[in-house]
Structures are given as C-alpha cells and as structure tokens.
Amino acid sequence: MIVKTKITRRVWFVVMLLFGMMRLLFAGETQWMAIGDLHSWYHSAGCEIEVGRTYQVSDQQDGLRWPAQFRYQDSEAAKALWIGCKNFDDPVAGKVYNYKVVHVGPRVLDESNEFMTEKFILKGRFDHPRVYVDGLPASKLDFMEVVNELDDNLPAERVLVNVVRTSLGLTMYRTIYAFSTSQNSNYFIYDYVFKNTGIIDSKGTSYPQTLEDLIIHFQYRYAPSREGGPYGYNWLPQSTSWGHNTMNDVIYTHPETGEPFRALISWHGKHSKWSGPGDNIGGPNYLGDGRLGAAQFVGVVTIHADKSPNDATDDPAQPFTTQEVGSDDPWTYNNSQYNASAMATEYQEVMSAGRPALSHAARVGDGAADLYGGTPGGYSTAHGFGPYTLNPGDSIHIVLAEGVSGLDRQSCYDIGARWLENAGNFPLPQGGTTNDRNEYKNAWVMTGRDSLIKTFENAVANWKSNLDIPSPPPPPEQFEVNSGGDRIFLKWADNSDGWVGDHGNKFNGYRVYRAIHQPDTTYQMIFECGPGTENPQVVYEYEDKSAQRGFNYYYYVVAYDDGTTPLGTLESGKFYTMTNEPAFLQRPPGRKLDEIRIVPNPYNVRARDWQFGISAPDRILFVNLPPFCEIKIYTERGDLIKTIQHEDGSGDESWNSVTEARQVIVSGIYIVYFEVTRDYIDENTGEVIFKKGDSVFKKLAVVR
C-alpha cells in the first residue's frame, strides 16, 4: 500500500510537471472582446490556437460566441497563422532555408523563439461599468476584460493593439476593433500590417534581409456550435465539437451585385452519426424542445489587401489561395521552424495551394460532411495572401472582418419546435409552404448565409467610412440592483446625461430590460424614461414592483439616443450592465409594529452554533419590520451604540452585534428603537400600513 502510494505520487508529480512545462511553453496573455453580441478571445502571440485559452479539452469549442448572451454559443475550435518565404538566411540555424515557415497554431505556439509578443493592450473609450447585485460584483466583464488605456477619441468602443515580432524578421501589427451597436455588434475588424523590420527575437536583434515570395496564411477551424455538442447539452454527435461536419464555402464575388467580394463562409453540415429524425442541419434538439443549437454561419471577409509593398490599392486577386486544410493532417501538428522538409511541404502544398475549382462545400454537396475525405478531423477553411517580396522597411497591409450571424434566438426556438412537432403546413422563407419538416427547417437555417453576407457588408461599409459610424451614448458607469421585500430596487449613474455624438445624435434617456429565471434568456424592456416616453422626465432609479416571489431576476440598463442618425435609435451595449447574479424578493415586510421580533432573544453567544451553524458570524435578526425604517440600539442607561438604516423594502435586517465604535457588545439589556421613515401604503387596497414617524421600542437581552 505504501509502495502504491509512492508510485501514485510520483506519477502525479510527473503529470503536474509536464503540465507546468506546457503552460510555460504556451505562456502568454489572453483578452476577451465582449461588448457586443459576438464575444471572442485573443492571444498575445497574434493568433488563437486550439484550447489556447484554458488548455482544457472541454474548451475545444471556445470563442466566437454568438448570440453571446446565451450559453454555449461558441463556434471557434482553432486558428492558425503561418508566415513563410523562400531562400531565408537563418542566423540561428546558420544556414539558408529554401523555404522558411513560422507558425502560431493550430496546435503549436512558441512565444520565446517564433512569435514573440511586443505589445498587447486593450483600449476603451470608457471602462466597463461597476455592476452590483445586493452588494456583490455582478458583471461578466469584471472577469473577461482588463481595459489598459482609456481614450475618448478611439474609432471603436474597444480596440485591441497587438504587436508581435517573428523569427523571420517580419513584425506584425494587429489591431482589432469591436462595436456594440446592433448593426455592427456581430463582427470584429482585423487590421494587419506586416513590416520587414529585420528584428528576429525578443531582445531586438536585427538581421535585415529581403523576404522573398512572402506568404501570409490564415487557417480557421470552425465548429458551430458548442450548445448541442458533448461540451454543451450533448444531443449532437461528438465529433461536431471539433468541426468534423463543418461545411466550408468560398465566394469571390457578391452574389447579388457581382462585384468583387472575397469571403469564407462556414456552417454546421450533415453528420452521418445523427440519431434524430431527418438531418441535423441547424443542430435541432430532438431529445428536448427541438430548438436549433447550431444555426450559426461564421466566416471572414477580405476588406483590403495591398497589391504590393509599393502599391497600396486593394488587390481583388487576393487572397490568392483558398484551399481548405485537413484539420488533423500531419502538418497541423508539431510544426518546427527548423525542419526543412516539413517547411517545404507547408509552403508548397498548403500555403501555395491556390484557389480550387470547387469549394469544400460544393464538393461535399448534399452528403454527410464528416464522411468527406475520410479524415477524422474534418476541414479548416483557409486563405493566403501573397506572394510578396519585402525589402527591409517594406510593409503589407491586410484588413479582414470575422463575423457570425444566422437565425435569431427566438426563431431558433420557434422553428425548432415546429420541426419537432411535425404538424402541418410549414411556411418557407421565400413564400409558399411544404409538408416536409426538414425542407422547412433547412430552408430557414440557410437564410443565415444571407445574414452573414449582410454582416460582411456592414463591416466593409464601416471600414470604408474610416470607422466613422454613429455611436450610442456611453452606458451608466455604475448600476446597482438590490432585492427588497415587495419590489426590486434599481439605481444607475447619470454620466450619460448631456452626451452628444459625433453625428449630432444626442442622449435621450434610459431603458431597463429584465430576464426571468436565468441570465441567458430573452430580455424584455420594463421601463424607459426620456422625452417621447410615458416617463418624459429622465430619472436614475426604478422600482420593479412586478417582480414575484420565488423567481430570479436579471437586469441591464442602457442609455439611448434621440434616433436622429440613419441607424435609428442607438442604445449603449447591453453587456456593459447585464447582471449575472440574481435579484429576488426577500421576506415581505410586516404589517404591525407590535409584530416586530428580535431573534434570538435572549442572544447567547455560546449557543450560536446551534442557532446559525458552526463558524457562522455573530448576528441578530430583526424580523417583521416595516419596509423602510431606522433602527437605533441603546444600552440600558441610554447610550446610543448603533444606528441601522433599513431601506431595502424587506421585512428583516441583520446586525453583527458590533457597535459604531467597532466593539462587540457585552452581556446586558439593550433597548432597540424602530421608527418608520417612509409612509407605506398597500398598493392593492390603498390602506395605510405604516406612517412616517410611527415607532416602537423592544428589549434585547445578550448573554456572553
């Protein structure tokens, strides 16, 4: 038994040592962009590798969450950025490589020798608000983002600045823009500049040389979405979690205008292991309510790519390669910048593959995507830019936008429920009807393709306007929610007042939204104030009197403008103030002063373990209180030792038995005075329950 224990400990030590070494090798920072309907994380090395945020297999699908207020909406499995050139004189290896390729992703990351972070900071026009529920921090943004710099003049609400050196001597400047307005909240714009600085390491060592036939190659392993997979609610085949059935399409012209429009589009395709009726397009929950758990369309649009270092006009021939990559192909593992034969294969067969006559999706057709190619991993979509030749000091500018769109959440519920019920004449999106429930479901799911193209159009228009789109007012910088006895109290800061946008739009008022039971559900507006509303006076608090006992409530408050821009009324982003802790009705207030009780009374400190549990703090409860009152505690000789303002509308208040002077009370008799501070009227009957100034005395005995 002793030997077995020692062996177990040694094995555990080795496992932990290896895990620690892996974390050191993959050292780096991550940062979320999480202010709009699309949330995703980014790595300081310049690209997001497989499970690169948490290193947990359960986070195989991690990132590109849309619609982000709902749980398990991740569509990202892995990304990669490979940069390669020809005839590179490597000062570290002491040789010239015919092909030199440096890598970050899909599985490798070396921030010490290959992709070396120089800068990684998040900028914001304002910090995320302080959000509290019953005094506790209650915002996901507290844990998801750290705003390093504030700048009122930023072109977007959040800007992530990332500078990375590579061992090629090519420095990457990556700037990511995020927006919260509804038309622009489901994409990120990626502004890349790749400059031949000659700096080859983190020390700043310079080894200038011309980079010949440089190719910049991006890979995207999409897997929409986590909700139905094994790391979500688990009704879809397991391999959907790594994108085994993902369909990858490529377009080069806009489907309506015929103008150049270069985009990668991916979605959840058919899977041969589907166990439900019909097919799994949209990922319907056939074991439950039928809701569509994988109706997302995800992809990347090329907004701009320089023709050459000397010609900054957009080159419609870029990206020059769009061949998909087998996600588990040998060259997606153990990549090395010093393996000459492997780098030659990567450069020639992957990075220079060109544009296939038919996209992956076209070749799969109506079949099961997981069976195509006989690969266990499915396929990643990809595009490469180049080849460019960069002399020392030359640079290339590439602008991309990555987005997710599709059916809205309510439609996913409604369409999925009708599909599951299989009753009836099903309406089709282009008009007409069908009795085939799968035709109905699939037709509606595939409208997400048009939605994603519209998302890309918004991103392109935004960039072409120099990011000069109308902005909403800033959110309240503080939001407090407090549970009461017969209502829930909401209060927010007034910093949005008087705001005027760059497009002439002005602050108009505030709106409050509420969800019931859980935060990842739909929210309903329950209050608005400002000119043109039923509450024309702008206020900074609201009492939710419609809350019912036994339910959890979640809230957010937004500032909104006067609707004078072409985008209509703009609201501040909901995620800034959305609560992730529940508020609920507490003990209702009493109805008579003589019913007030002090519990326990007498208070015996030696019996507190029996009264409140082991290790519980000292506390005395005052119950059956008026909703608003002042509690004053005196010694028997009349010395005031503690004043408590009871303002939460509930029927109870606790006291930790500590005086204003921070002293624990001693044995003796204490007089407790209760005085009503606000009239309290029964809203149903109009009866006056308590009048301001009503009061009563009670005695408290303490034994220590």
In this prediction, residue 516 has a pLDDT band, given cuts at 50, 70 and 90, of: very high
Q: Which helix (H) or strand (E) holds 609?
A: helix 608-612
Tell me which CATH code domain 593-703 carries. 2.60.40.1930
- Specify the pLDDT at position 25: 45
Q: What is the mean pLDDT of residues 150-163?
A: 98
Amino acid (1-letter code) at residue 69: Q
**Model confidence band, residue 610 (pLDDT cutoffs 50, 70, 90):** very low
What gap in Å lies between CA 382 and CA 321, rounded to an integer? 8
Q: Are 91 and 542 in contact (CB under 8 A)?
A: no
Specify the 3-state DSSP secondary structure of 699: strand
Gyration radius (Cα) of the chain, Å: 31
Rounded distance between C-alpha atoms, residue 139 and residue 33, angstroms? 14
**Per-residue pLDDT, 648:** 84
d(CA 83, CA 353): 14
List beta partners, residue 527. 512
pLDDT above 80 (res 423): yes
Sign of CA dihedral 387, 79, 162, 306: positive
Given this model, what pLDDT does residue 520 score?
82
What average pLDDT does range 472-494 have in this prediction? 95
* pLDDT tens-digit readout, 21-78: 444 444 579 999 999 999 999 999 999 999 999 999 999 999 999 999 999 999 999 9
Report the distance separating Cα 678 and Cα 486, nearest Å: 15
Q: What is the pLDDT of residue 7?
A: 39
Domain boundaries, the chain: 11-114+167-458, 478-576, 593-703
Return the structure tokens found at 383. Answer: 């595009």
pLDDT at 486 (0 to 100):
85
Confidence of residue 619 (pLDDT cuts 50, 70, 90): confident
Confidence check: pLDDT of 446 > 50: yes
Q: Do 478-576 and 593-703 fold alike per CATH? A: yes
Name the band, by pLDDT with cuts 50, 70 and 90, for residue 492: very high
Q: How many residues appear in the chain?
A: 704
Predicted confidence (pLDDT) per residue in 207-223, tens digit: 999 999 999 999 999 99
Q: For 153, phi and psi rounded to 5 degrees?
A: -100, 10
Nearest to 134 by CA among 414, 552, 626: 552
Q: What percent of the chain has pLDDT over 90?
A: 87
Judge contact between 246 and 266, C-beta under 8 A: yes
- Work out the mean pLDDT of the chain and round it to a whole number: 93
Predicted local distance difference test score (pLDDT) of residue 518? 84
Q: Tell me which fold the domain 478-576 belongs to.
A: Immunoglobulin-like (2.60.40)
Share of the chain above pLDDT 70, in %: 94
Mean pLDDT of 658-663: 92
Rounded Cα–Cα distance for residues 79 and 49 (Å): 5
Question: pLDDT per residue over 550-588, tens digit each?
Answer: 789 999 999 999 999 999 999 999 999 999 999 998 888
Burial class of residue 1 in the structure, from the number of CB atoms within 10 Å of its CB (0-12 exposed, 13-18 middle, 19+ buried): exposed
Residue-by-residue DSSP string for 435-488: S-HHHHHHHHHTHHHHHHHHHHHHHHHHHHTTT----PPPPPSEEEEEE-SSSE
pTM of the predicted protein model = 0.87
Alpha-carbon distance values, 331 to 107, 343, 354, 444 (Å): 10, 9, 18, 37
Q: Is 230 exposed, middle or buried (0-12, 13-18, 19+ CB in 10 A)?
A: middle
3-state helix, strand, coil in the chain (%, to 5): 15, 35, 45
- Split at pLDDT 50, 70, 90, the class of 2 is very low
